[in-house]
C-alpha cells in the first residue's frame, strides 16, 4: 500500500553539519535558514559580528544546540582562520556554509550611485561579495563531495532599484562569484548557489527609507499577492543544501513570491 509506495525518508539535512554566517537576530534571513535547517536535522555552527550581536546570536544558537558559536568579522583573515580551526577540531569536516552578509555605508543607500566614493564602493564589495570568496577558500579543505555553499542576493543586482545603488553592484559581483565558485568547486562535487529573496523587514532593511512602501508595492505586484518571510527563504534553502538539489549549482534561485517575473 502507501507504505510500500512512499517509504518514510529521513529529514532532508539529517546528519549534516553546517556553518551559518550572518545571524543578527530572530528576524534575520540567516535565522530563517538556520531554524529550518535545524528542523530538517542539521547540526549548526554560528558566527556573530561584535559584542552587541553576540547577545542576540548566542541564545538563538543555543536554542538549536549549536556546538560552535564563534566571532567572525568577514574582513578579518585571522578570525576566519580561527573559526575554521575550531570547526576542524570540533567536527573534522563541514557539509554546508550559509553566507548571509551585506554592508554598505548608510549614505551610499540613498541619493545617486554616481556619488559613491572609492572607499564606500570598496567596503560594500569587500563585505558583501569578497566575503563569499574568502569563506569558500577557508571552508574548502573541510568540504567533501556533496557539500554546498549558499548565499543571499537581491533583484537590485540585475535591475536598477532606486537607492539600492552600490549594493546592487555588490550583489552583481556576488552573483558572478557564485557562478565562478561553482566552476571552481564543481569538479570536487561541491555546489554553490544563491537565493534571491524578495524584500523582507529585517534589521538590515530597517534602516532603509521607503521600505514600507516597497513591501506594499511588492505584495500587490507579486503573482502570489503577498510578501515573503524568512521561513519561505529557509525552506528553499533547506532544499538547496540537501541532496534533493544534487544537480543544481551556480544558480540564482528567486524566493520572491514571483515578483521578478512581472513587468507591470
Ligand atoms: O541587501 C539589502 C540591504 C543590505 C544593507 C542594509 C543596510 C542598512 C544599514 C546593507 N548595508 C546597510 N547599511 C546600513 O547602514 N536588502 C536587499 C534590503 C534592501 O535595502 C535597500 C532596499 C532593500 C530591498 C536599500 C535601498 C532600497 C531597497
Report pLDDT digits (tens) over 149-194. Answer: 999 999 999 999 999 999 999 999 999 999 999 999 999 999 999 9
Task: Read off the C-alpha cell for 7.
Answer: 517509504
**How many whole angstroms separate alpha carbon 57 and alpha carbon 196?**
23
Q: Is residue 5 part of a domain?
A: no
Q: Is residue 2 part of a domain?
A: no
pLDDT band at 1 (very low <50, low <70, confident <90, very high): very low
Overall number of domains in the chain: 1
Task: Read off the C-alpha cell for 120.
Answer: 564606500
Q: Is residue 7 part of a domain?
A: no
Residue 43 domain boundaries: 17-253
**Contact at 8 Å (CB) between 7 and 33?**
no
Whole-model pTM over 0.95: yes
Taking CA atoms only, the protein residue closest to ligand 1 atom 28 is: 164
Q: Is residue 259 part of a domain?
A: no
Listed residue (166, 94, 104) closest to 135, CA to CA: 94
- 169 Cβ closer than 6 Å to some ligand 1 atom: no
Q: What pLDDT is attached to residue 252?
A: 99
Average pLDDT over residues 78-89: 98
Q: What pLDDT is attached to residue 3?
A: 54
Q: What pLDDT is attached to residue 211?
A: 86
Helix (H, G, I), strand (E, B) or coil at 96: strand
**How many whole angstroms separate alpha carbon 112 and alpha carbon 129?**
21
Torsion from C-alpha of 217, 220, 226, 232, nearest 10 degrees? -60
Q: Which residues are catalytic?
A: 154, 164
pLDDT band at 83 (very low <50, low <70, confident <90, very high): very high
Q: Is residue 10 part of a domain?
A: no
For the chain, the residue count is 264
- In degrees, rounded to 5, the angle at the alpha carbon of residue 118 between the alpha carbons of residues 113 and 121 is 60
Residue 59: CATH number of its domain? 3.40.50.720
Quote the ligand 1 centre to 62 CA distance (angstroms).
Answer: 28
Q: Is residue 85 part of a domain?
A: yes
Q: Is residue 260 part of a domain?
A: no
Average pLDDT over residues 233-262: 98
Q: Is residue 8 part of a domain?
A: no
84 has a pLDDT exceeding 60: yes
238 has a pLDDT exceeding 80: yes
Amino acid at each position: 500500500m502507501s507504505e510500500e509506495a512512499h517509504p518514510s525518508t529521513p529529514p532532508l539535512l539529517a546528519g549534516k553539519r553546517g556553518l551559518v554566517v550572518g545571524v543578527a537576530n530572530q528576524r534575520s534571513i540567516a535565522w530563517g535558514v538556520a531554524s529550518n535547517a535545524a528542523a530538517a536535522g542539521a547540526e549548526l555552527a554560528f558566527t556573530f559580528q561584535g559584542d552587541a550581536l553576540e547577545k542576540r546570536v548566542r541564545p538563538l544558537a543555543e536554542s538549536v544546540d549549536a556546538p560552535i558559536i564563534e566571532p567572525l568579522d568577514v574582513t578579518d583573515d585571522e578570525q576566519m582562520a580561527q573559526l575554521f580551526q575550531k570547526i576542524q577540531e570540533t567536527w573534522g569536516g563541514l557539509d554546508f556554509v550559509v553566507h548571509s552578509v551585506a554592508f554598505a555605508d548608510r549614505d551610499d543607500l540613498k541619493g545617486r550611485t554616481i556619488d559613491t566614493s572609492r572607499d564606500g564602493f570598496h567596503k560594500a564589495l569587500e563585505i558583501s561579495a569578497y566575503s563569499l570568496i574568502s569563506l569558500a577558500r577557508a571552508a574548502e579543505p573541510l568540504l567533501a563531495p556533496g557539500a554546498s555553499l549558499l548565499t543571499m542576493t537581491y533583484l537590485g543586482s540585475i535591475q536598477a532599484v532606486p537607492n539600492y545603488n552600490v549594493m546592487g553592484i555588490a550583489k552583481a559581483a556576488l552573483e558572478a562569484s557564485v557562478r565562478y565558485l561553482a566552476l571552481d568547486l564543481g569538479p570536487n562535487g561541491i555546489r554553490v548557489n544563491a537565493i534571491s529573496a524578495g524584500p523582507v523587514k529585517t534589521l538590515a532593511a530597517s534602516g532603509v527609507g521607503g521600505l514600507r512602501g516597497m513591501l506594499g508595492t511588492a505584495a500587490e505586484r507579486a503573482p502570489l499577492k503577498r510578501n515573503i518571510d524568512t521561513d519561505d527563504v529557509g525552506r528553499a534553502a533547506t532544499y538547496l543544501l540537501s541532496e534533493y538539489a544534487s544537480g543544481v549549482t551556480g544558480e540564482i534561485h528567486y524566493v520572491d513570491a514571483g515578483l521578478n517575473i512581472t513587468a507591470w
